[in-house]
Amino acid sequence: MHPATAVNARMSLTSRGVGMLACGIVIGALGVGLSTPVMVYVGVAMTCAVALAWVWMMLALGSFVRRFPHAERTIRPRPLTVGVPGTVTVAIRATRARRAPGKGVISRLQVREQAASELTGGGSTRAAVTRSPDALVLEYALNPVRRGRWEVGPALMHTADPFGLLASDTAFGSAESVSVWPQVTDLVGTAGALMGQAERVVVGSRTPSADDAALRDYRDGDDLRRIHWASSARRGTMLVRSDEHAGRRPATVILDLPLGHEALEWSISAAASIGVSVLDTGHPVRLLGAGPAASAAHLGQRGGDLARAELLDLTVDLTSPVTRAAGDARLREAARAAAEGSVEGEVTVAIIDPTTDDVLEDLAPIGAAGRAWAIVRADPDDPADAQATAARLSRAGWHASVVRAGDDIAGVWRSLVAMEERR
C-alpha cells in the first residue's frame, strides 16, 4: 500500500476557453476603438468569465485536496512475475472529519492511472471505477511482459469548470517502482529426480534399510526404489527413506549472462526456474556468475518461501556484460567459487555460452564427481562451437546438452536429467 498527497495540478484552457478569451479581448478592443461601451462591457464580461472559471477551479481543487488528501495504491501480487496477471487498486478516500461533503466533487471526477508499457503488455490501462460519497476506487489489471523495475502511477485526475472553459490534469499521488520477476517454469518433479540421481552418484544404487535411514513424505521426483512400502502401508501415505547425508543436498546454479536480449531473458528464466524448483524440493541453492547480484551463500536454510523470494530478487536487475570477454571473466570467477566453496555431494547446473579453453579448464574440476550438468546455448546459424564446448565438458565428467535460447525450458530440463539415466 502506498499513500501519497496530490501534487502538480496543471490547468489549461479548453478550446471553448480559448475562443471565449480571444473573443473577449477582440470585442473589448473593438469597443474601445469604436467608443462603444456595450462592446467593451461584453468583452470584459467574456474575459472575466475565464478568470472566474480559473478561480472556481482553484477553489474546487483546493477543496478536493483538503477532503481527500491521500491516494492509497495497492498492487497484488508484489513483486509481479512475467506472464502472471496482477491488479492495481487506487483508493482516494475522504478524511474521517470530511466524509459526506465530497459527493459532488467525486461524481464529476475523472481518474486514470499511468503504468509502464512493460507492465501492461504495451496496451492502455482500462480501469473499473467505483464511486461513493466519500471515496473513489480505481482498479485495473496488469500483464507484465518484461523482467525489471518499472513505474506505476501517478494517478491523473481530470476536472473542468461547469462551463468547460478550463481543464486540469492533477497528478494525485506519486509514481512508484514495481519489481517484476522473470517467468518461472515449474520443474519440481524433474528437479527432484536430478537431486536423487546426484544422491545415487554419491551413495551408490544400494537402497538403505529402514534402520539406517529416516522416513519422510514422498515428493514428486523421488526415486521409487527408496519407498518404504511397509511403513507406507501402515501410515496410508507414501513414505521414502532419506538418510541425513542426502536429505538436504545443496545445489549451485552458474549463470553465464549472454549479450543478446532474447538469450539473456531466456537464460535468466531458466536459471530462476531451476533454482526455485530445487528449493521447492527441499534443497538449498545458490546463484553464481551473475556479477554483484550473485549469492555466494546457499539460500533455503531459513525456509523455502523466503529463499524463493531472495533468489528471484537477485534476477531483477541482471543485465548483459559489456563484452564477451567480461562475461568470460565473470564465468571464470563463478567456476572457481563453485569449485572452492563446494560442499560434499553438491549438485552444479551451469547455463553457458560456447566458451574459451581457459574457462573450460576452470569448469572441468567441477565435473569430476559426476554431479554437474551444463546447458550450452548454441548460435542457431553455427552450433559447432556449442557442440565443441559440450563435448569438452562431457569429457571432464559433465552431463552437457546443446540448446537454443527460446527452447522450451521444461523440455530442455527433462532431456538434461534423462542424460544420467542413459549412462
**Alpha carbon 249 to chain centroid distance?**
28
CB within 8 Å of 208: residues ≥ 6 apart: 241, 243
Strands (E), 126-249: 128-132, 135-142, 148-160, 166-172, 176-181, 214-217, 239-242
* Dihedral of alpha carbons 337, 339, 345, 350, sign: positive
Q: Where are the domains of the chain?
A: 2-13+65-181, 209-242, 249-422
Category of 308 on φ-ψ map: left (φ > 0), alpha (ψ -120 to 50) or beta:
alpha
Q: What is the pTM of this model?
A: 0.76
Which triple of cell numbers denotes residue 311?
Answer: 533468489
Helix axes 188-203, 409-422, angle to 10 degrees: 20
Q: How far apart are CA 262 and CA 269, in angstroms?
A: 11
- Could you give the count of Cα atoms lying within 13 Å of 365 in the half-sphere of its Cβ? 14
Please name every residue paired with 372 in a beta bridge, in sequence order, or none if there are none: 348
Considering the segment(s) 249-422 as one domain, its CATH architecture is: 3-Layer(aba) Sandwich (3.40)
The CATH T-level fold of domain 2-13+65-181 is Immunoglobulin-like (2.60.40)
> How many Cα atoms within 13 Å fall on the side-chain side of residue 189?
7
* Side-chain-side CA neighbours of residue 14 (13 Å): 17
CA 29 to chain centre: 61
pLDDT in tens, the chain (423 residues): 555 554 566 788 889 989 999 999 999 999 998 888 899 999 999 999 999 999 988 887 777 777 766 778 899 999 999 999 999 998 887 765 444 444 555 556 677 888 899 998 877 777 888 877 777 888 999 999 999 999 998 888 778 888 889 988 877 777 889 999 999 998 876 766 676 655 544 444 333 333 334 456 676 666 676 776 766 776 677 777 654 444 578 889 999 999 889 999 999 999 999 999 888 888 889 999 876 656 667 887 655 678 889 999 999 999 999 898 999 999 999 988 888 866 667 889 999 999 899 999 999 999 887 788 999 999 887 889 999 999 999 999 999 999 998 899 989 888 887 776 555
Q: At what angle do helices 261-280 and 409-422 cross, to 10 degrees?
A: 60
Q: Which helix (H) or strand (E) holds 59?
A: helix 37-67
Q: Among all chains, which residue has been given the C-alpha cell 548454441?
A: 378
Q: Which residues contact 187 (CB under 8 A, 6 or more apart)?
A: 273, 274, 277, 409, 410, 413
Predicted local distance difference test score (pLDDT) of residue 402: 92
Query: pLDDT at position 235, please?
Result: 66
Nine-digit cell string for 271: 536459471
